[in-house]
Amino acid sequence: MDCIFCKIASGETEASIIYEDEDILAFKDLNPQAPTHILIIPKKHIESLSACSQEDSALLGNIQTAAAKIAKELNVSEAFRLVTNNGAKAGQSVKHLHYHLLAGRRMMWPPG
């Protein structure tokens, strides 16, 4: 499978890693859309949130608590956005579940 995020998770492709545990990896986005722009991924390949099942519930919860921890470590706890683009029409370009942690500028609502 030719998945760029699997390659980052396995160490085959370099990334600027800022958090790692047994199941989760977080690294800087290559094309940042905010002063802080981190991607948080499960190490195992899951195509998108739609592809998750009940058995992924703990993993999904752990991603959120990892996001809060990362935000704290990066001193952006007060204001950040955590978002996943699910499907091409929603802006998903990499078919490996990932959450964008964005901070450091004013966020607009609704997002485009």
Q: Return the active site residues.
A: 98
Sequence-distant (≥ 6) Cβ neighbours of residue 81 within 8 angstroms: 100, 101, 102, 103, 107
Q: What is the DSSP letter of 71?
A: H
Binding-residue pattern over the window 23 to 62 for ligand AMP, x denoting contact by CB under 6 A: ------xxx-------x-----------------------
The binder of ligand AMP chosen from 89, 93, 108, 110 (CB under 6 A): 93
Q: Confirm or reject binding of residue 12 to ligand AMP (CB under 6 A).
A: no
Please identify which residue in 59, 62, 94, 104 interacts with ligand AMP, judged by CB under 6 A: 94
Sequence-separated (6 or more) residues with CB below 8 Å from residue 3? 45, 94, 95, 96
Distance of CA 37 to the CA centre of its chain: 9
- Closer of 31 and 54 to ligand AMP (Cβ): 31
